[in-house]
Amino acid sequence: MDQTSAKLMLGEGARDAHALLSIYPVTAIGKDLRVHPGLILPPEGSVLVLSIPEARQLLTSPPVAPFVLVLWFRPSEHADPDVLEHAAIAGVLHPDSQPEAVYTVLQAAFRLLAVQSTEDAARMLENVLEIGRALASEKVLDTLLSLILTHARSLTGADGSSIYTRDRDGVLYFRLWQNASTSATASAQKTLVGDYSIAGYVARSGESVLLDDAYAIPDTAPYKFNPASDRAIGYRTKSLLTLPLTNKIGDVVGVLQLINRKNRPGVQLRTPEDIAAHVQSFDARSCHLAQALAGQAGVAIENSMLHADIERLFEGFIKASVQAIESRDPTTAGHSFRVADFTERLAVAVDRSDDTGLRDLRFSRDQLREIRYAALLHDFGKVGVREDVLVKAKKLYPHQIELLTQRFKYARLSISHQAYRRLFELFEEVEHDPEEFRVRRREIEQAVTAEHQRLEQYLHTVLRANEPTVLHASAPQELREVQAYSFPDGDGGVPLLHDFEFSDLTLPKGSLTAQERIEIESHVTHTFEFLSLIPWTRDLARLPEFAYAHHEKLDGSGYPRGLAQADIPVPARMMTISDIYDALTAPDRPYKLAVSAEHALDILGAEARANKIDANLLRVFIESRAYRTGA
């Protein structure tokens, strides 16, 4: 800073220094020599000549901008070492100082000011860079906007600030404001902004607008100030700096507005007098700082929007994939989405819980997203399971039952056919005795009817046994009878029930054979293998591992790896609880009756007592009602 651009100012208590200072070369003092209006903060880069009490007061609340003090010292006054030795003190003058002394002290003051300005610029640059780093690492747009406002205010000393964003079509939205002087608070919003507002003009033109008084805009200006928000919060906007926020290629992605630059950071602007005493225009320094910040903010906003786009795209892709997989088995439609909802709500509740065993479990936003995606994709591997196995609703497949029913029909016809042949033979044998023939014929017909009835009974038995809800401790006697039965076909007999049909129909539980169960269970391994093919970002890196463990049990009895408790990640344990709950309560699975929420929680309770699922997590699942649907 050279001497001609610096300001030399006198405090009230140093008015009588005026005559003495006028001996200093006029070019250095310039037109800026004026009496300092009481003790407000000195403008940037000024040399102040203050009395001891004034200096003491000023130094107790040092401003951000660089300034240098010359003490106006009267012999009667006392100066404590804190004031005399302060780094901002360039020298001391008293009423009988010689011209050489005045000259030397002021020269020293301007030199010190130059050094301070350089240091201040470096410090500010460092601040801006620091802020740039902070902005670049914030991915959530609303948080980012709030950060920009806070930093912009602290860098420039503005009392208030507002931020706007522009969408891909160039439409400008008001998003957020901050104001140190009102108790009103703002939450993130998205309100359309008029073209002729100041922000609208800045977005359209890409030019900054700097106003000393928002209420004194000339009629010819291409924008207008809207006093509505001032009225709404009981405020008075005076100085205003509105800047475009641009991306890397210079497109306007948003607008930053700074309101009422203050001479003291902590002061509140409640009355017109406060405004008059403390609001200053945005000077060159604050404009430069705001511009530097705007450059960083524009790029950060664009990045954050791109990040949100990618996240939306990705989430959309995941949802579409899950829906495609679930469409192979319509009876489980919505299962993955419900499990994801339950698990996410459970994770949020666990994050808030201070219960024993859960106190150390905290999930960041990224971790919650990782858990949600893992839950959404936990059954992704079902894509590798044959569809008829996947949707198998009864112990025998529909085509097997069809074949079996046809066999019963064939048996019925075979029996009839054999009876008619017998009747022909009989007719030849007892042709001479019609009475005998009638009696024997009735016997044969009765026997056929009885056989047909038996077949009907057997078919009924088979169809009943085919239901997965019918559980067997051992093969029932009726079914053994069916198995032992064979019907005539040519010269031999044909069994009504094949061995594999008998064993399938006597499955002790559910609808799946051991082999089919293994195939269904292989979905977990398929899930892991498929998910491992995706190059997840670092914050989603553990997703395959979480999904891989969703059928593991704490006592090691789960599948596919039979993991021990310590090796099952907490997100997987949460998924297990949600998965079991939904499987139990889902109303639309034909092979299994849905149970009520209470009953499902009881069953989960029993699982927890048997150390199969995590009891602490189950408690939070129940207490937080994480399982409620549609919440």
| Region of 26-34, 260-268, 289-297, 578-586 interacting with Fe ion (CB under 5 A) | 578-586
Give min distance, CB of 582 to Fe ion, in A: 7
- 319 vs 171: CA distance, rounded Å: 29
Structural tokens at position 617? 């997590």
Cα 137 from chain centre:
15
Give min distance, CB of 551 to Fe ion, in A: 6
- 531 vs 366: CA distance, rounded Å: 18
Do 350 and 404 form a contact (C-beta atoms < 8 A)?
Answer: no
The answer for residues whose C-beta is within 8 angstroms of residue 495's C-beta and 6 or more apart is 483, 485, 486
Give min distance, CB of 548 to Fe ion, in A: 11
| Region of 200-208, 297-305, 575-583, 607-615 interacting with Fe ion (CB under 5 A) | 575-583
Give min distance, CB of 317 to Fe ion, in A: 20
Structural tokens at position 146? 């709030």
| Region of 11-19, 183-191, 533-541, 571-579 interacting with Fe ion (CB under 5 A) | 571-579
Nearer to Fe ion, 537 or 629 (CB): 629
Give min distance, CB of 535 to Fe ion, in A: 24
Nearer to Fe ion, 379 or 504 (CB): 379
Nearest CA among 563, 564, 594 for reference residue 581: 594
Q: Does 579 bind Fe ion (CB under 5 A)?
A: yes
The footprint of Fe ion on residues 224-243 (CB under 5 A) is: none
| Region of 280-288, 407-415, 574-582, 590-598 interacting with Fe ion (CB under 5 A) | 574-582
Give min distance, CB of 590 to Fe ion, in A: 17
Binding characters for Fe ion, 283-322, by CB under 5 A (x = yes): ----------------------------------------
- 173 vs 176: CA distance, rounded Å: 10
Give min distance, CB of 319 to Fe ion, in A: 16
Cα 66 from chain centre:
43
Binding characters for Fe ion, 523-562, by CB under 5 A (x = yes): ----------------------------------------
Give min distance, CB of 243 to Fe ion, in A: 52
Nearest CA among 75, 583, 74 for reference residue 338: 583
Give min distance, CB of 382 to Fe ion, in A: 8
Taking the alpha carbons of 48, 51, 52, 58 in that order, is the dihedral positive or negative? negative
Neighbouring C-beta atoms of residue 246, cutoff 10 Å: 19
Give min distance, CB of 300 to Fe ion, in A: 39
The answer for residues whose C-beta is within 8 angstroms of residue 393's C-beta and 6 or more apart is 331, 468, 511, 590, 591
Residue type, 284: A
Give min distance, CB of 469 to Fe ion, in A: 21
Binding characters for Fe ion, 345-364, by CB under 5 A (x = yes): --------------------
Nearer to Fe ion, 121 or 603 (CB): 603
Do 563 and 414 form a contact (C-beta atoms < 8 A)?
Answer: no
The answer for residues whose C-beta is within 8 angstroms of residue 160's C-beta and 6 or more apart is 153, 177, 178, 179, 180, 181, 235, 237, 258, 259, 260
| Region of 443-451, 459-467, 492-500, 573-581 interacting with Fe ion (CB under 5 A) | 573-581
Neighbouring C-beta atoms of residue 156, cutoff 10 Å: 23
- Please report, for residues 164, 262, 352, 406, 409, the alpha-carbon distance to residue 482 in angstroms, rounded to integers and kept in the order given: 79, 96, 60, 15, 15
Nearer to Fe ion, 358 or 549 (CB): 549
Convert 333-356 to b/e letters by CB count within 10 Å (16 or more is b): ebbbbbbbbbbbbbbbbbeebeee
Do 240 and 216 form a contact (C-beta atoms < 8 A)?
Answer: no
Nearer to Fe ion, 384 or 476 (CB): 384
Residue 493's SS3 state is strand
Nearer to Fe ion, 504 or 579 (CB): 579
Nearer to Fe ion, 69 or 531 (CB): 531
Nearer to Fe ion, 217 or 520 (CB): 520
Nearer to Fe ion, 159 or 379 (CB): 379
| Region of 125-133, 154-162, 343-351, 379-387 interacting with Fe ion (CB under 5 A) | 379-387
Nearer to Fe ion, 223 or 342 (CB): 342
Taking the alpha carbons of 307, 309, 312, 315 in that order, is the dihedral positive or negative? negative
Nearer to Fe ion, 379 or 451 (CB): 379
Nearer to Fe ion, 501 or 579 (CB): 579
Give min distance, CB of 155 to Fe ion, in A: 52
Nearer to Fe ion, 177 or 373 (CB): 373
Do 530 and 547 form a contact (C-beta atoms < 8 A)?
Answer: no
| Region of 378-386, 418-426, 476-484, 564-572 interacting with Fe ion (CB under 5 A) | 378-386
Give min distance, CB of 326 to Fe ion, in A: 10
Nearer to Fe ion, 44 or 379 (CB): 379
Give min distance, CB of 335 to Fe ion, in A: 6
Nearer to Fe ion, 166 or 523 (CB): 523
Asked if the peptide bond before residue 544 counts as cis, ω within 30 degrees of 0, the response is: no
Nearer to Fe ion, 41 or 554 (CB): 554
User: In the 8-state DSSP scheme, what is residue 85?
Assistant: T
Q: How big is the chain, counted in residues?
A: 631
Cα 339 from chain centre:
17
| Region of 191-199, 306-314, 572-580, 611-619 interacting with Fe ion (CB under 5 A) | 572-580
Counting residues that bind Fe ion (by CB under 5 A) gives 2
Taking the alpha carbons of 21, 23, 28, 34 in that order, is the dihedral positive or negative? positive
Q: Which helix (H) or strand (E) element contains residue 102? A: helix 99-136
H helices within 377-397, ranges in order?
387-390
Give min distance, CB of 547 to Fe ion, in A: 9
Do 208 and 291 form a contact (C-beta atoms < 8 A)?
Answer: yes
| Region of 294-302, 504-512, 564-572, 576-584 interacting with Fe ion (CB under 5 A) | 576-584
Give min distance, CB of 324 to Fe ion, in A: 16
| Region of 39-47, 200-208, 256-264, 373-381 interacting with Fe ion (CB under 5 A) | 373-381
Do 185 and 167 form a contact (C-beta atoms < 8 A)?
Answer: no
Instruction: Name the site residues for Fe ion (rule: CB under 5 A).
Output: 379, 579
